[in-house]
A = this chain, B = another copy of it.
Amino acid sequence: MVKITFCFESEAPSICVMAATNENILQTARRENIAIDAPCSGNGTCGKCRIRLLSGKVESTSDLEDGWYLACQTKPLSDIEILVPNTATAFHTGIRTAELTQAERAQLKTLPNSGFEAVSLKLCEPSLDDTLPDNERLAAAIEKKTGCKTVFTFHAFKRMAWILREEDFSIQVLGERKNGIFTVYDLVPSGISAPMCALAVDIGTTTVCAVLTELTSGTLLAKATCGNAQLRYGADVINRIIEQSKLGAERLQKAVLEETLFDLIEAVCKDAKINKSRIFRMSVAANTTMNHLFLGLFADPIRMEPYIPSFFRTQSFCAKELSIPIHPDAQILISPNIGSYVGGDITCGVYASGLWKNDELSLFVDLGTNGEIVFGNREFTVACACSAGPAFEGGDISCGMRATDGAIDRCSINKDTMLPTFSVLGGGKPVGICGSGILDVISELFTCGIINAKGDFVREGSRIVRDQYGTGRYVLAFAEESATDSEISITHVDIDNFIRAKGAVYSAIDTLLSAMDMDESVLQTVYVAGGIGSSISIKNAIAIGMLPNLPVENFRYIGNSALSGACAMALSDKAVCEIDELSQGMTYMELSTQAGYMDSFVAACFLPHTDAERFGGAR
Contact = CB atoms under 8 A, between A and B. Distances in A.
B158 A296 contact: yes
Contacts of A130: 306
Contacts of A154: 317, 321
Contact of A133 (B135, B308, B593): B308
A307 B131 contact: yes
Interface stretch (A61-69, A159-167, A211-219, A482-490): A159-167
A337 B309 CA distance: 47
Contacts of A320: 320-321
Interface stretch (A199-207, A297-305, A362-370): A297-305
A613 interface: no
Given A297-B157, A297-B158, A321-B154, A134 B310 contact: yes
A157 B307 CA distance: 18
A606 interface: no
A127 interface: yes
Contacts of A308: 126, 131-134, 161
A510 to B, nearest CB: 23
Contact of A157 (B299, B310, B312, B590): B310
A161 B301 contact: yes
Given A134-B301, A328-B321, A126 B306 contact: yes
A176 B287 CA distance: 32
A311 interface: yes
A128 interface: yes
A559 interface: no
Nearest to A292: B161
Contact of A306 (B131, B301, B312): B131
A295 interface: yes
A455 interface: no
A306 B127 contact: yes
A295 B156 CA distance: 12
Nearest to A138: B310
A337 B298 CA distance: 44
Contacts of A376: none
Interface string A22-60: 000000000000000000000000000000000000000
A311 B158 contact: no
Contacts of A311: 133-136, 157
A608 interface: no
A339 interface: yes
Interface in A120-168: 126-128, 130-136, 154, 157-158, 160-162, 165
Interface string A226-264: 000000000000000000000001000000000000000
Interface string A89-132: 00000000000000000000000000000000000001110111
Nearest to A153: B321
Given A128-B593, A131-B339, A132-B308, 17 more contacts: A128-B590, A130-B306, A131-B306, A131-B307, A133-B312, A133-B337, A134-B311, A136-B312, A136-B313, A154-B317, A154-B321, A157-B295, A158-B295, A158-B297, A161-B298, A161-B308, A161-B310
